[in-house]
Amino acid sequence: MSELPGVPEKTEEWKGMTRTVFERIARKINQEITKNIISKPSLIKEYLLFGENEFESIKFKYKIKTMDEFIHFLKMTNQQKPYIWISGKTLQGYWNNGNAKDRKLNALLSFLNISINDWDYWKSTEEESSEATKLYHDKNNNGTRFLLRKHFVGHYFRYYQKSDQSRVLIKTPFVIKEDAKHIVTIETKTIGHQYESSNMVIRDGALYIECENLEWNEKENYIFNIGFETNPKIISGVSNTLDRKGHAIAIKNLLVKQETPYDYYKCEGMEIPFDQPLNLSEEDTLVLNFIKQRSNNIITTSYIHSLEELRADTIFKQIG
């Protein structure tokens, strides 16, 4: 900011700046925020920088109907007169210990390119710093919790081919739920085992989940593609675990969201044979056909620790 006219190099001297100088800073900030929104529309589609009521006023003012039209409007805006996400008056007030509104802080954090997952940590006051640090490292960080709670909480069925590569589709319950303290957790089952999330984070359009086996010492990890979708019916991804020989494997997964909740604790996993399925729902049939038509549902590995073992394994595969 020091390259702007009238802006001192030392921020300690900013309190003495005039409103005009703060307006110059605000223009620069607004230009950068607009660029960030164009590259990451979820910032406004999630109503992180303004509320739904404010967007109704924006639609009326600029004669637009949808969020996509507003994004197009931002692209066409003169950079010298950018959309005002934050004003010089507001900046000057903040710099002189004025109260900061939450969405204006979000705008500033967007300008600084701070990850959404870390916004609550950055917005915490000095008195809250110890608690904020705890939340910053919390296994269920607030940014991920917010997005899961707003768009993904619900009952799903998880489908995947049986890990022994037999021609069997597994269908198991998978629930993303929120408790009374607004803590979001994920629970799922395999045939005979139950898992619960121990860590999860949304990053770059993907949901990463680490689950603990509730019955013995084993982990199962998931990566699901969620992109910028806000109401997905189906989510695809992979699970990573060990097979019965202790070898790492990756398995293609599909989550199908259910319109009607079910009792997770009474719902058990089931096996659906590829070749003789009986009395399947339309949903089950679609998923079964999708999995049957693909040959790469499971990636297996083996113990290889030398070039000789690699050569032997390659020869074995060629013979087989």
Q: Is residue 188 part of a domain?
A: yes
CATH at 294: 2.40.128
Q: Residue 77: which domain range?
A: 11-113
191 and 271 fall within a common domain: yes
108 and 153 fall within a common domain: no
51 and 197 fall within a common domain: no
The two three-digit tokens of residue 100, written as one number: 């900061």
One-letter amino acid identity for 114? I
Q: Is residue 123 part of a domain?
A: no
The two three-digit tokens of residue 318, written as one number: 């060629």
Residue 202 CB contacts under 8 Å (≥ 6 apart), including other chains: 117, 143, 144, 147, 148, 208, 226
Residue 44 near residue 50 (C-beta atoms within 8 A): yes
Bridge partners (DSSP) of residue 30 are none
241 and 101 fall within a common domain: no
Residue 250 near residue 299 (C-beta atoms within 8 A): yes
Q: Is residue 142 part of a domain?
A: no
Low-confidence ranges of the chain (pLDDT < 50): 126-130, 132-140
Q: Is residue 308 part of a domain?
A: no
262 and 205 fall within a common domain: yes
Residue 145 CB contacts under 8 Å (≥ 6 apart), including other chains: 182, 183, 184
Question: Can you give the pLDDT at residue 177?
Answer: 92
Task: Look at the chain and report how many structural domains it folds into.
Answer: 2
91 and 155 fall within a common domain: no
Question: In the Cβ-directed half-sphere of 205, how many Cα atoms lie within 13 Å?
Answer: 8
Q: Which of 64, 88, 113 is the endpoint of a domain?
A: 113
Question: Can you give the pLDDT at residue 133?
Answer: 46
Q: Is residue 320 part of a domain?
A: no
pTM above 0.85, yes or no: no
Q: Is residue 4 part of a domain?
A: no
Q: Is residue 125 part of a domain?
A: no
Residue 281: strand, helix, or coil: coil
Kindly report, residue by residue over 213-230, the tens digit of the pLDDT.
887 778 899 999 988 788
CA pseudo-torsion sign 89, 92, 96, 100 = positive
In the DSSP assignment, the letter for residue 129 is H
